[in-house]
Amino acid sequence: MGFLKKFQFVGGRIAKTGLAVFLTALVCELLNWPATFAVITAIVTIEPTAANSIKKAYVRFPASAIGALFAVIITHTLGDHALTYALVALLTIITCHKLHLGAGILVATLTGIAMIPTIHDHYVATFFIRLGTTTIGLIVSTLVNLWILPPKYSNTISTNIHNLYFKTGNLLERRGSEVLHNHSLHRETKLIFNDILREIELTDTLCEYQKEEWKLHRSNRQEMRCFHYEYKKLNILRQILFHIGNIIYLPVHYSFSEEEKERIMDATLSLKGIMHHPSFDIPDQHFTLMKNLLEEFWEDQEGLHMKPFQSMKHHFSCETIMLYELLSIHDLVEELSGIHLLEAQHRNALKKALPTE
């Protein structure tokens, strides 16, 4: 199966689906059983992880039995008519839903509908044969998912996270420029923000898949440690995007001086540069920029404290919130840089510990 990895149009899941269909049909052929129902089950049983396949197999088996049972009973009563198809589909879906067998509704309905034209007599034997072929499809596809080309999401997760940091840096610069020039939120900026949010959720789903895979496949400590660091980076990215979201949805009522605008833009570009850096290195100049922002933040706060409390419509000005969000992002970027440094130290320590030739 290794040669399939050379072709981008044949992914691991596609290859496993084809193999599962072939093996399922082959077993049914040896048993002289119809392969249609087994193949249908095999196709829908291939999940992103082997753990999911095993979990859903426990649901799909009783669901398929329900679909086959309704097909036999209703076909025996009404024959092969349009109403039979509607009743089998409807009753199968309702029953599976009531019994909390949601993961098996599709395969159960397909099994029941596909059985109707093939039922003529020997109803009990037909029911158990269909149940047997469904079982073959479940078992074969689950074993293929477990043993053949076990999925590894770590590299994809790492690539996604670094790409997302790159996009987030660009988003911060884009929104910062809009704010400092008193421009309202651009539609494209909001689309980029929502797109990054969606990709973070997709990457988080891949992380969950990877954790599920490790329950069934052994992994070395180094791989798990790398995943641990990448997951921390993903959580920090989520927090950074939260602060950028606060900047995005702030009303544009800023009254920065030209000097203040320059300082804020320099700090924004510096944060962007750190998020673009492969190692998230922080230059010394960046700390100077953030120190200036911090001093400006406290000056704004002192100015607000001088006003009567009852006369203030908003207790935090837009300028103060903007500075606070940038300083918060700086704190998270500092934490991010420390995580990457710790990861590099562990990696170097492992290399030194390996025996040399």
pTM for this one?
A: 0.75
Cβ atoms 274, 337 nearer than 8 A:
yes
CA distance 237 to 343: 17
Q: What is the pLDDT along the chain (357 residues), one digit of tens a residue?
A: 454 444 444 456 788 888 888 998 999 889 888 888 788 888 877 777 777 778 888 888 889 889 989 998 998 888 888 999 999 999 999 999 999 998 889 888 988 888 888 777 777 887 888 788 888 888 888 888 777 777 778 888 999 999 999 999 999 999 988 888 878 888 999 999 999 999 999 999 999 888 888 877 666 777 888 889 999 999 999 999 999 999 888 776 667 778 888 888 999 999 999 999 988 999 999 999 999 888 887 776 665 554 544 444 445 667 788 888 999 999 999 999 999 888 877 777 766 665 544
Cβ atoms 251, 142 nearer than 8 A:
no
CA distances from 258 to 254, 264, 266, 289 (A): 12, 10, 12, 16
Tokens 């500075």 found at = 323
- Residue 188 half-sphere exposure, CB side, CA atoms within 13 Å? 4
